[in-house]
A and B are shown apart, each in its own frame.
Chain A
Amino acid sequence: MKSQVLSFDTTGIMSCQQNRYPMLFVDRITECIPLKYAKGYKLFSYNEWFFHGYETTSPKVWNVIQIEAMSQVFLMTFLSSDDCRGYFAASNKFNKVQFFRKIEPGDKLDIEASLESFRHGIARGQVKGYVKGKIACSMECTIVVPEIFGKFQHSLPLKGVDKTSYYNSESVINNFKQIETQKDELVFGIEKIRECLLNKYPWLFLDQVIDIMPGKFVRVIKNFTYNEHFFPSHFPENPNVPGFIQIECCMQAFLLTFLSLDEYKRSETADRLLMNVQVKRKIVPGDTLEMFATLDRFSRGVAKGRVESYVNGEQAVSFEVTAVIVDVLDQFKPKTNN
């Protein structure tokens, strides 16, 4: 029997998934066979809120917004099926997340998502995004539907709270600090953070630095309070921090490891590759996210490192990252005939 090909406008999309303004990042699903694939697109307009959270003359679509747009089209591969329509879904893992080009206001991001498996409430698949026919972003992802997964989770062995990873992250920083001779009380609040990053409201997700050694590491916190703009829509009955915002918090922590160096303060950056992104817990209003970012390598404008984050010592988001300082990198581009 031939599968029926479906399409959805915004109303149809919202009947399948719970994302709403200002957290809905897909405009149309043009082609979809439930439990197989979905194709759709997102248009970008300068009128959108996230373009205004960075001091630049050349606004661009944040990479985590691309992740979220790809995720939301991927959601349609299984939330469009009659058995799952309208369920909540939560980000779990992303891997090989790559960004190939700058996406600007006026661009259209065409997204193709394929579902490789959907069992026990866990969906795995691949997603690619294109602008004007050229690959713009891609990733592998795992999304969990708690309502289905929960039924199976009860039969799995219970795991106690394990703070080993948190203590490991603390010891990495303590090792760095043993090398440091100066030990004055650190005052590094929002003013100093803004001296380093170009980010501003509503796209600045760091509150206070606890510890920092520029060029080596940073330990920084972000408080989540219901007064933030994303909680009322994500979600009205169940407010929690969207996965892509959790990732962006950690990305900004990583950027601070090298943008705190005097010569690079307030430089324009782009993240290029994210590996082994794990979103391990729900974060709700009243939680404080504590992030440990380390810079493993920093040369000629390319920065590689890792971020681990915790809420009350329990693991939250973690990933490995490669980011670049755009102006520095441009100095080393090979000559071509194009």
Chain B
Amino acid sequence: MNNLEKYKTVFCESFSINESDLEGDLEYNSIEAWDSVGHMGMIADLEDKFDVMLDTDDIIDFSSYKTGIKILKKYDIEVEL
């Protein structure tokens, strides 16, 4: 499984959504499941999947599906769309 597939899987499993829902740019609070609790669950799953620990500022900045890709880059994780 490449990084993009892993990244998509985390979103789909955390928020119980389909891959097609990720087209465009899914944003925090744009669906019921991505609220503050859903956010922390998704971050925890992402950390497990990529074996990283995100800084608090990055967790707060992680406001959309696409922004998350830029943030992961800071941790040397390349997710190519």
A residues near B (Cβ < 8 Å) are 100, 135, 272-273, 297, 299-302, 322, 324, 329-336, 338
Contact = CB atoms under 8 A, between A and B. Distances in A.
B41 A333 contact: no
Question: Which 7 residue pairs spanning A and B have beta carbons closest together?
Answer: A334-B63, A334-B28, A302-B40, A272-B37, A333-B36, A332-B59, A329-B36
Contact of A335 (B40, B43, B56, B63): B63
Contact of B37 (A135, A299, A329): A329
B29 interface: yes
Nearest to B40: A302
A154 B44 CA distance: 48
B62 A302 contact: no
B60 interface: yes
Nearest to B37: A272
Contacts of B78: none
Contacts of A338: 29
B23 interface: no
Interface in B23-60: 27-29, 32, 35-37, 39-41, 43-44, 56, 59-60
Nearest to A272: B37
A336 B29 contact: yes
Contacts of B36: 324, 329-330, 332-333
Contacts of A332: 36, 39-40, 43, 56, 59-60
Given A297-B44, A338-B29, A302 B37 contact: yes
A302 B41 contact: yes
Contacts of A324: 36-37, 40
A40 to B, nearest CB: 22
B37 A334 contact: no
Nearest to B16: A96
Contacts of B59: 300, 332, 334
18 contacts: A100-B32, A135-B32, A273-B37, A297-B44, A299-B44, A300-B43, A322-B37, A322-B41, A324-B37, A329-B36, A329-B37, A329-B40, A330-B36, A332-B39, A332-B59, A334-B39, A334-B63, A336-B28
Given A100-B32, A135-B32, A334 B62 contact: yes
B61 interface: yes
Nearest to B62: A334
Contacts of B29: 336, 338
A196 to B, nearest CB: 22
Contacts of B62: 334
B59 to A, nearest CB: 5
B11 to A, nearest CB: 14
B37 A335 contact: no
Residue from B28, B40, B60 whose CB has the most chain A CB atoms within 10 Å: B40
Contacts of B28: 334, 336
